[in-house]
Amino acid sequence: MIHDYLIIGLGLAGLSFCEQLEEDNKTYKVVSDDSQRSSLVAGGLYNPVILKRFSLAWNADIQLQTALPFYKKLEDKFRIQLDHKISVLRRFASIEEQNLWFEAADKPRLNKFLSPKISLDDIEGIDAPYGYGEVKHTGRIDSNKLITTYTSFLEQKGNLIKETFRFNKLKIHSDYVEYNSTKAHKIVFATGFGLRDNPFFNYLPLKGTKGELLTVRIPELELSRIVKSSVFIIPLQNDLFRVGATYNNYDKTNVPTEDAKVELVRKLESFLKCNYEIVDHVAGIRPSVVDRKPIVGRHHVHKHMYVLNGLGSRGVLIAPSIAKQLYEHIENGQPLSEEIDIDRFSKKYLTTAS
């Protein structure tokens, strides 16, 4: 039997593409070993606004229209809760930041998301003398639960090959690929930062950014919304909160570091005014790209080989829409957006690599 697709990787990108295949009753196999941990350790926050600059993230309003129904469908499919709808409070550090917020809230594409009123809520345990600005239409996707549930789903269907993908076992034929005993008409690489080791796509400028998060217990803090200051503090359950994240462009390991822990603690303590306990510390490499856009498209030689990658730090928001774009491109000939198509790099980087 020759399957329709072979998917390499089961983070948010690979999972989102699998759902496209499910909808159209395509046959497929997935190879994954959980080595790329950025989806598993992500904070899961979907927020259309870049809160450092009070600007709309790339295509975030459009991506939100695809992402929210996508996760609702998965909630119904697996009878679990994934989407925790929760607003974000941006803690102001000065009057100047308040003024910048008012200016941003007047802009046409931002006024849907930024409340025009300054919130002076006194959240006991958080120092916020200049108040907060509220971001609406935000929330947290439990990406760990999603990937764990989807992994079990694929195992039950017999669609998951749980192993490290070995390129020396991949045979490329004119109209299909063969991996061990599995054959498929098309192969899609959705391996996150692992793309750096992919001999077919390693010319693409995937740089990778390490992110580290803490989980802390704060019994005295009653917080029902996410607070963004120098770091995010995201409420979970049972007095637990997720604190993050760091951005490191040089360390390419998944090992948590003391330096990042110290940085997160310092930033947290700059506005948290109650006792806390660190209960967990995790790290992962975000698949970031030099121009901060995804890398999606077909290999320049092997016409049945594709890549779906480069989600960066906004994977829960971006993954459903770019997976849909790639699927429509492959199956129905719809052109990819030039912003995400790997052709934007081909001339420069293939010439350099050759």
Fold of domain 2-41+144-204+290-353: FAD/NAD(P)-binding domain (3.50.50)
Mean pLDDT of 285-307: 94
For residue 121, the model assigns a pLDDT of: 78
Band (pLDDT 50/70/90 cuts) for residue 354 is: very low
Per the model's pLDDT, the better-predicted residue between 286 and 76 turns out to be: 76
Cis ω before 128 (30° cut-off from 0): no
For residue 347, the model assigns a pLDDT of: 72
For residue 159, the model assigns a pLDDT of: 97
Q: What is the number of H-type helices and E-type strands within the chain?
A: 8, 21
At residue 187, what are phi and psi to the nearest 5 degrees? -125, 135
For residue 237, the model assigns a pLDDT of: 87
Quick one: which of 87, 91, 135 has its CA closest to 114?
135
Q: Break the chain into its structural domains and give their ranges.
A: 2-41+144-204+290-353, 87-137+209-286
Residue 283, both tokens: 């790290």
pLDDT score of 318 more than 50: yes
176-226: pLDDT as tens digits: 999 999 999 999 999 999 999 999 999 999 988 999 999 999 999 999 999
Band (pLDDT 50/70/90 cuts) for residue 17 is: very high
For residue 122, the model assigns a pLDDT of: 83
pLDDT score of 11 more than 80: yes
Quick one: which of 198, 207, 173, 175 has its CA closest to 31?
198
pLDDT score of 42 more than 80: no
pLDDT score of 109 more than 50: yes
234-290: pLDDT as tens digits: 999 899 999 988 999 999 998 999 999 999 999 999 999 999 999 999 998 999 998
Band (pLDDT 50/70/90 cuts) for residue 41 is: low
Asked if 65 and 195 count as a contact pair (C-beta separation under 8 A), the reply is no
AA letter at 55: S
Element (DSSP H or E) covering residue 198: none
Mean pLDDT in the chain? Answer: 92
Rounded-to-integer distance, Cα 57 and Cα 327, Å: 24
pLDDT score of 312 more than 90: no
CATH of domain 87-137+209-286: 3.30.9.10
What is the sign of the dihedral through the CA atoms of 81, 209, 35 and 263?
negative
130-166: pLDDT as tens digits: 999 999 999 999 998 999 999 999 999 999 999 999 9
pLDDT score of 82 more than 70: yes
Mean pLDDT of 297-318: 94
Residues 6+ apart with CB under 8 A from 138: 45, 46, 47, 48, 85, 86, 87, 88, 113, 226
Residue 176 to residues 164, 179, 188, 195, 252, Cα–Cα distance (Å): 21, 10, 12, 21, 33
